[in-house]
Amino acid sequence: MSMSENVLTESLQRDPGAENYVDRKRHLWILSVLWPATPLIGLYLVAQTGWSIWYGLVLILWYGAVPLIDAMFGEDFSNPPESAVPRLEQDRYYRVLTYLTVPIHYAALIVSAWWVSTQPMSVFEFLALALSLGIVNGLALNTGHELGHKKETFDRWMAKLVLAVVGYGHFFIEHNKGHHRDVATPMDPATSRMGESIYSFSLREIPGAFKRAWDLEEQRLSPGHI
Q: What's the pLDDT tens digit per position in 104-162?
A: 999 999 999 999 999 999 999 999 999 999 999 999 999 999 999 998 999 999 999 99
The answer, as to whether pTM is greater than 0.75, is: yes
Rg over alpha carbons for the chain, rounded to the nearest Å, is 21
Is 207 part of any domain?
no
One-letter identity of residue 79: N
Total domains, the chain: 1
Is 209 part of any domain?
no
Neighbouring residues of 123: CB distance < 8 A, sequence distance ≥ 6: none
Is 56 part of any domain?
yes
Is 54 part of any domain?
yes
DSSP 3-state of 3: helix
Is 110 part of any domain?
yes
Is 103 part of any domain?
yes
Average of per-residue pLDDT values in the chain: 89
Q: How many CA within 13 A on the CB side of residue 186?
A: 0
Range of the domain at 79: 3-138
One-letter identity of residue 143: T
CB 105 within 8 A of CB 162: yes
Ranges of residues in the chain whose predicted pLDDT is under 50? 1-3, 5, 7-13
